[in-house]
């Protein structure tokens, strides 16, 4: 079934999202890990669309959803998402009240936010449950393991904050044999031990994102936090292949809008970086860097089931493709995903564009998504 929009109307450019594949990926990762699973839904679910992905993962059995921007969580609650939602990044003190109103669990990433959390708990007349983040080496959010005794003393003074979860996040788990992985594991164990000595036994311990969950099974504890694996990007790693138990989830399509035969030596696009070698058919695709299709010399698309080279600089709204023959305007072009037996992978775009894998899915939000369940 299609949601959001349908192919009944003519679309010049669109993104097909395979929600069944997202659900299958979630079940595959959960089964492999044998733990609870928090689906991390950030940055428009890496181009898939926040709400349809949130609804899909809830239906497929996610135990919680992780977000980094409060607005996303509020939109999820407004759309009827019932499972726990956690802020997995930081939180501003101004966001505490709206987060609690929408039953969104707060992170505890540094000591400065404690008084504001405690004041909110007091105003509600409740004990608030938070997830304590430990910075074991990522150099982002979290307290250092050695700060735990002082922090716990402060928490106990407030008397209205409980540690429901303890977590950390890895910096190098997608890089095979990086020594920081071992070090982060040791530091996290040390943090858990300090908490245990102080009598803190959190309900949830979570440390593994996609790569960690696959390559460091000992770090799965009782919950994993997963995003890329659910969304067709595997473990986001250049060192490891796309896992066999996962599926691709997205196809970005457009159509040729104009096709013209050029004489030899004609310059194509701004900067005139490409000149036709001989008489050459050139097609125009109505997508550009304004919609998230980056400017690069290695862009390729699929037309008629074959790989074809984009030529000349990508413009803000268009790019040009060298064609082996005339194709009718309206002919389908695949920018990412499969056509026949050929496929352009997110990894191909990452390599060509020299961006992180998730950026390969940063397709402009205004491009219609066609959802298939």
Ligand X SMILES: Cc1ncc(COP(=O)(O)O)c(C=O)c1O
Stretch near ligand X under the rule CB under 6 A, chosen from 154-162, 187-195, 207-215, 288-296 = 207-215
- Closest CB to ligand X among residues 56, 299: 56
Among 62, 88, 96, 121, binds ligand X (CB under 6 A): 88
Stretch that binds ligand X, among 49-57, 220-228, 259-267, 317-325 (CB under 6 A): 220-228
29 or 301, CB closer to ligand X? Answer: 29
- Spell out the SS3 assignment of the chain: CCCCCCCCCCCCEEEEEEHHHHHHHHHHHHHHHCCEEEEECCHHHHCCCHHHHHHHHHHHCCCEEEECCHHHHHHHHHCCCCCCEEECCCCCHHHHHHHHHCCEEEEECCHHHHHHHHHHHHHHCCCEEEEEEECCCCCCCCECHHHHHHHHHHHHHHCCEEEEEEECCCCCCCCCCCHHHHHHHHHHHHHHHHHHHCCCCCCEEEEECHHHHHHCHHHCCCEEEECCCCCCCCCCCCCCCCCCCCCCCEEEEEECCEEEEECCCCEECHHHCEECCCCEEEEEECCCHHHCCCCCCCCEEEECCEEEEEECCCCCCCEEEEECCCCCCCCEEEEEEEECCEEECHHHHHHHHCCCHHHHHCCCCCCCEEEEC
Q: Give the whole-angstrom CA distance, residue 328 versus residue 305.
A: 15
User: What is the C-alpha to C-alpha distance for residues 6 and 369, in angstroms, rounded to an integer?
Assistant: 9
> How many residues of this chain bind ligand X (CB under 6 A)?
13
Instruction: Kindly tell me which of 232 and 337 has the beta carbon lying closer to ligand X.
Output: 232
Residue 30: C-alpha distances to residues 4, 110, 132, 170, 224 (Å) = 28, 30, 23, 19, 8
Binding residue for ligand X, selected from 209, 318, 322, 339, defined by CB under 6 A: 209
Residue numbers 167-186 binding ligand X by CB under 6 A: 169
Pairwise CA distance, residues 311 & 308, whole Å:
9
Nearer to ligand X, 55 or 209 (CB): 209
For ligand X, the closer of residues 209 and 254 by Cβ is 209
Crossing angle of helices 179-197 and 148-158, rounded to 10°: 40
**Residues between 227 and 266 that touch ligand X (CB under 6 A):** 227-229, 236
Q: How far is the CB of 209 from ligand X (least distance, A)?
A: 3
Contact set for ligand X, span 31-70 (CB under 6 A): 40, 66
Residue 34, number of CB atoms within 10 A of its CB: 10
86 touches 103 (CB < 8 A): no
Q: With respect to ligand X, which residue has the nearer C-beta, 174 or 280?
A: 174
Site map for ligand X, 16-35, x if CB under 6 A?
--------------------
Q: How far is the CB of 246 from ligand X (least distance, A)?
A: 11
Of 191 and 303, the one with the shorter C-beta distance to ligand X is 191
Question: In the complex, what is the shortest distance from the CB of residue 320 to ligand X, in angstroms, rounded to a whole number?
Answer: 34
Q: Which stretch binds ligand X (CB under 6 A): 93-101, 222-230, 267-275, 329-337?
A: 222-230
**Contacting residue, 131, 225, 253, 361, with ligand X by CB under 6 A:** 225
Candidates 186-194, 209-217, 274-282, 291-299: pick the segment binding ligand X (CB under 6 A).
209-217
Contact between 131 and ligand X (CB under 6 A)? no
CB of 238 to ligand X, least distance (A): 13
Q: Is the dihedral of CA 47, 52, 54, 58 positive or negative?
A: negative
* Shortest Cβ 142–ligand X spacing (Å): 10
| Closer residue to ligand X, CB minimum distance, 173 or 322 | 173
Residues serving a catalytic function are 42, 270
Least separation, in Å, of the C-beta of 33 and ligand X? 12
The window from 74-82, 223-231, 252-260, 297-305 that contacts ligand X (CB under 6 A) reads 223-231
Smallest gap, in angstroms, from Cβ of residue 350 to ligand X? 13
CB of 66 to ligand X, least distance (A): 6
Residues that bind ligand X (CB under 6 A): 40, 66, 88, 169, 209-211, 225-229, 236
């Amino acid at each position: 079934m299609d949601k959001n929009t349908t192919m009944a109307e003519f679309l010049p450019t669109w993104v097909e999202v395979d929600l069944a594949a997202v659900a299958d990926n979630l079940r595959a990762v959960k089964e492999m890990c044998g733990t609870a699973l928090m689906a991390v839904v950030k940055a428009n679910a890496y181009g898939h669309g926040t709400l349809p992905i949130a609804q899909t993962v809830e239906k497929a059995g996610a135990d919680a959803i992780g977000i980094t921007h409060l607005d996303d969580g509020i939109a999820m609650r407004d759309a009827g998402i019932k499972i726990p939602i956690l802020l997995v990044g930081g939180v501003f003190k101004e966001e505490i009240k709206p987060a609690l109103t929408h039953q969104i669990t707060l992170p505890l990433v540094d000591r400065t936010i404690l008084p504001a959390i405690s004041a909110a708990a007091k105003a509600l007349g409740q004990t608030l449950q938070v997830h304590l983040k430990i910075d074991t080496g990522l150099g982002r959010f979290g307290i250092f393991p050695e700060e735990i005794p002082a922090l716990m003393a402060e928490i106990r003074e407030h008397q209205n904050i409980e540690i429901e979860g303890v977590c950390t996040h890895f910096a190098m788990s997608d890089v095979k044999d990086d020594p920081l992985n071992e070090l982060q594991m040791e530091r996290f164990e040390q943090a858990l031990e300090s908490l245990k000595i102080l009598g803190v036994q959190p309900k949830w311990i979570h440390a593994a994102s996609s790569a960690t969950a696959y390559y460091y099974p000992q770090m799965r504890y009782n919950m994993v936090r997963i995003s890329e694996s659910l969304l067709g990007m595997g473990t986001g790693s250049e060192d490891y292949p796309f896992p066999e138990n996962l599926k691709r989830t997205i196809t970005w399509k457009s159509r040729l809008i104009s096709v013209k035969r050029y004489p030899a030596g004609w310059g194509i696009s701004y900067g005139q970086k490409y000149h036709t070698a001989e008489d050459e058919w050139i097609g125009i695709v109505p997508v550009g860097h304004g919609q998230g299709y980056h400017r690069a010399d290695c862009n390729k698309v699929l037309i008629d089931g074959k790989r074809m080279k984009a030529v000349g600089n990508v413009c803000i709204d268009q790019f040009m493709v060298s064609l082996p023959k005339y194709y009718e305007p309206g002919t389908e072009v695949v920018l990412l995903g499969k056509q026949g037996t050929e496929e352009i992978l997110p990894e191909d775009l990452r390599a060509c564009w020299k961006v992180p894998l998730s950026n390969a899915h940063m397709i402009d939000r205004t491009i219609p998504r066609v959802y298939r369940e």
